[in-house]
């Protein structure tokens, strides 16, 4: 494998994580190539050799975080109870976006969707595809819960899905503002109690 321009100690995962935190904190447009090379500890030529471009690194950083949320979604929806499934989905997402190791609070996924410009188009498309897929899985799980009697018959699965998605997006947006983990968990708990008091016996 040709590694010209890349130092032997280059750690791709660590580089992607460092870049993700920069993009998270400053946004795509506010992060310069110099910022990235300084954070990663490589030369400009090494960065371009590894990722092709700043946009390529952004895409990989966003994909890195997207995989974490996909794992959370799949784990949550595998739960036998719909109550547990949604609780796990919200709680683990909140824990993910409030990691103490991350100096900047919030959700890179939410920030990436808001990024504009042709350079970020592919990353935005990939994220939207992931969100649509996760929403489809959630909707199917909610429909199953209605069919099995966990949720009141006649309940509109689209409405419940939309409600859960709104909570998820809301806590993500709040975390970007710096709202802490404990408060976000209380918001998730309150929202779930309100939802289940409406849609279950």
Q: What does each of the 201 residues of the chain score in pLDDT, given as a tens digit?
A: 444 444 445 789 889 988 888 887 787 888 899 999 999 989 999 999 999 999 999 989 888 888 888 899 999 999 999 999 999 999 999 998 887 665 555 666 666 656 666 777 888 888 888 889 999 999 999 999 999 999 999 999 999 999 999 999 899 888 878 899 999 999 999 999 999 999 998
Q: Which fold has domain 12-199?
A: Tetracycline Repressor; domain 2 (1.10.357)
pTM above 0.75?
Answer: yes
Question: Residue 118: what pLDDT?
Answer: 74
- Measured between alpha carbons, how far is 80 from 175 in angstroms, rounded to an integer? 29
Q: Is the distance from CB of 72 to CB of 89 less than 8 angstroms?
A: yes
Question: Residue 173: what pLDDT?
Answer: 84
Q: Is the distance from CB of 51 to CB of 38 less than 8 angstroms?
A: no
- Measured between alpha carbons, how far is 33 from 48 in angstroms, rounded to an integer? 10
- Measured between alpha carbons, how far is 126 from 67 in angstroms, rounded to an integer? 11
Question: Residue 103: what pLDDT?
Answer: 56
DSSP letters for 5-65: TS-TT--HHHHHHHHHHHHHHHTTTT--HHHHHHHHT--HHHHHHHHSSHHHHHHHHHHHH
Question: Residue 2: what pLDDT?
Answer: 47
């Amino acid at each position: 494998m040709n590694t010209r321009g890349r130092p032997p100690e280059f750690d791709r995962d660590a580089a992607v994580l460092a870049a993700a935190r920069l993009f998270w904190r400053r946004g795509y447009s506010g992060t310069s190539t110099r910022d990235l090379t300084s954070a990663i500890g490589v030369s400009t030529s090494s960065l371009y050799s590894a990722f092709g471009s700043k946009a390529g690194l952004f895409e990989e950083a966003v994909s890195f975080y997207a995989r974490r949320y996909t794992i959370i979604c799949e784990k949550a929806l595998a739960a036998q109870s719909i109550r547990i499934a949604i609780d796990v989905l919200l709680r683990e997402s909140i824990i993910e976006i409030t990691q103490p190791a991350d100096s900047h609070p919030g959700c890179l996924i939410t920030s990436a969707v808001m990024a504009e410009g042709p350079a970020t188009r592919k990353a935005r498309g990939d994220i939207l595809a992931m969100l649509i897929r996760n929403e489809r899985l959630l909707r199917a799980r909610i429909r199953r819960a209605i069919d099995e009697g966990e949720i009141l018959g006649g309940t509109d699965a689209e409405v419940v899905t939309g409600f859960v998605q709104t909570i998820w997006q809301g806590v993500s947006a709040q975390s970007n503002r710096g709202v802490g983990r404990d408060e976000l968990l209380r918001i998730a708990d309150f929202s779930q109690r309100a939802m289940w008091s409406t849609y279950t016996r």
